[in-house]
Amino acid sequence: MSHSTDHSQKSSLITLMIGAIGVVFGDIGTSPLYAVKEALGGAHAAVPTPDNVLGVISLILWTLMVVLTVKYQFFIMHADDQGEGGNLVLVALARKFTEGNARMQRIIMIVGMIGVSLFFGDGVITPAISVLSAVEGLEVITPTFQPYIIPITLSVILLLFFFQSRGTSKIGRLFGPICMLWFLAIALLGLKEIFLHPAILVALNPLYGIKFLFGSSGGDTFMVLGSVFLAVTGAEALYADMGHFGKGAINWSWGTFVFPALILNYLGQGALILGDPAMVKNPFYLCVPDWGMLPMVALATAATIIASQAVISGAFSATRQAIQLGYLPRLRVVHTSSSQFGQIYVPVTNWLLMIAVVGVVLGFRSSDNLAAAYGIAVTGTMVAVTVLAFGIVLKHLFAWSWWIALPILLAFLTIDLGFFGANALKFMDGGWFPLVMGSAIFAVMATWRKGQDVVRHALKKEEIPLEPFLRQLGPAAINRIPGTAVFMAQNIQVAPSALVQMLRHTMTLHERVLLLSVKTEEIPYVDEAERVKVSMLFNEYHHVEFHYGFMEDTDLSEALTNCTLANGERVDLADTYFFLGKPNLIAGKHPEMAGWRLKLFLNMLRNAATATDYFKLPSMRVVDMGTRIVLGDAE
């Protein structure tokens, strides 16, 4: 049974809904702070005439309906694996459905890496734009606060990142109630303005949005689409966090609470601008009565911190999944809660994100400037998700013919590409940033994958078949010492390099020898019954193969302690030594890899977490045995 199923059984639907309101909808719930302001008052805005106001609000409402409710809830959330969702789950499913087609698998891998790279770009911009837009409310109270907006924003962001190592399980309990209060507050603000200017209600008719989109303003209208899209940034969280809260809790909390609150607030902001177009400079905060401004800024800051926290936690999870699937080098992953699954902290990801977010705040300096950069990362990710979900995964899951799959794929792809194109027009205004950052992350991931292939090819030349090697060394030729020796062996047909080194140099082995393989499956979790496979190779040689899902941790010490060998014996860690092959790789001239990429790969390899830390081996019982290997021709 999957972890998500266990979790769902232990928690009531109401509890899960409250949690989902806090974590899943934090990002999309704070979009009202800037979406309408950018669409009707930003650098690429429509003039706030009554027709344009009705058209833009109609577009926002129906974009929420089509993207969140139809695309994600009705379709993409069905593309789960053991209840889990997210970009890399989609990649794993797509690869499973195209097994045997090497070319298609490569394309899927590239599309998946592009999506993940842009997701990390989104992870940098979300905390920056969310916290900035909340703190900018102080400027509405009085211009005196203007010089303090950047320092206050940076203080909040730095505190947020410095607290990551302590975990979010305690603060996380407050996420749901605070976000419920936030959605209730923005709904009431909207209702107040709708009551004063009920003419805005006609924006519920999609024809106003269609008229605005295909009206006479042409290119300017298309640019406004980029700002309209800001209303749905955070949509991917529905799919990514499905494993933590379950499909039912997410769907119910969206339909009964979050979506109605967003509809009321967007209509309310439109109503305010209909009444006075000058309010377009910050319609969200100008809906707030004077007496409520400071509490609202405080509540908005809390909500944006929660939205940022959800994105940062998502970046940690995506990092771990990417490591398990071989897209990134091994990094140290810290568990911050002994009781809550998925509460992890990845120090490298945290500090790199923090540096990038601080740089973005100092570079762009306002939510208006950041809005141009925001949409392009999210739309790029959505294009990748749409292609994989409708082109491969859902087609197989629902057994659609191409006559059904292709029209649906083209319909959603047209919407996604429309938004992507509108955001791409803002390339010079900041859209370049997430693309440059995404390209850098993609280059790192592609270099790591290619480097691993190059190393495997180089090691293959040094390989010695296991059985002939062991048989040529008769029992009488090998000195035996008490205890157990464990050798890591990904390919059981080949003698592990550490075993070859040990026998060649010492002709000594322990009484019991384990050849240990670890395989990461392209599923989130492996059933405990399928966790371990044991077999006897020869009298003194055992093969133990552990299987893990890409969302699980590889704790080999615990796994070995619970393991029974083929002859019924148990492993005593106090009497066991781990021998690890550690190739000393030298960069040469390689025909398939540019020199800078080879050096980048070797630098990542040197800075990766050790196998001892990653597999949670007892460090005092680990012996590294090195071999020198030149990658390519020696220079």
pLDDT of 169-178, one tens digit each?
556 667 889 9
Residue 44 pLDDT > 70, yes or no?
Answer: no
pLDDT tens track for 185-197: 999 999 999 999 9
pLDDT tens track for 249-281: 899 999 999 999 999 999 999 999 999 999 998
Higher pLDDT: 9 or 105? It is 105
Q: Does domain 3-430 have CATH number 3.40.50.300?
A: no
Per-residue confidence band for 374, with pLDDT thresholds at 50, 70 and 90: confident
Q: Is the pTM of this model over 0.85?
A: no
- Which residues are 547's β-sheet partners? 519
pLDDT tens track for 213-229: 887 554 567 888 888 99
Residue 295 pLDDT > 90, yes or no?
Answer: yes
The stretches of 473-555 forming alpha helices (DSSP H) are: 497-506
CA gap 577, 579 in Å, rounded: 7
Sign of CA dihedral 91, 92, 95, 96: negative
Q: What percent of the chain has pLDDT over 70?
A: 93
Q: What percent of the chain has pLDDT over 90?
A: 32
**For position 101, what pLDDT does the model report?**
87
Computed over every residue of the chain, the mean pLDDT equals: 85
**For position 8, what pLDDT does the model report?**
40
Q: What is the mean pLDDT of residues 384-405?
A: 91
Contact call for residues 303 and 178 (beta carbons, < 8 A): yes
Indicate the helix (H) or strand (E) that contains 479.
strand 479-488
CA gap 474, 465 in Å, rounded: 16
Q: Find how far residue 20's CA is from the centre of its chain.
A: 17
Other Cβ atoms within 10 Å of 66 Cβ, number = 16
**For position 583, what pLDDT does the model report?**
76
Contact call for residues 509 and 476 (beta carbons, < 8 A): no
* Portions of the chain given CATH number 1.20.1740.10: 3-430
- Closest among 113, 136, 187, 163 to 308, alpha carbons compared: 163
Reported for 101-110, long-range contacts at CB under 8 A and 24+ positions apart, including other chains, are 108/388, 108/392, 109/449, 110/446
**For position 635, what pLDDT does the model report?**
54
In the three-class reduction of DSSP (H, G, I as helix; E, B as strand; rest coil), residue 365 is classed as coil
Residue 50 pLDDT > 50, yes or no?
Answer: yes
Per-residue confidence band for 475, with pLDDT thresholds at 50, 70 and 90: low
Residue 41 pLDDT > 90, yes or no?
Answer: no
pLDDT tens track for 348-358: 999 999 999 99
Give the Cα-Cα-Cα angle 325, 332, 129 (nearest 5 degrees). Answer: 85
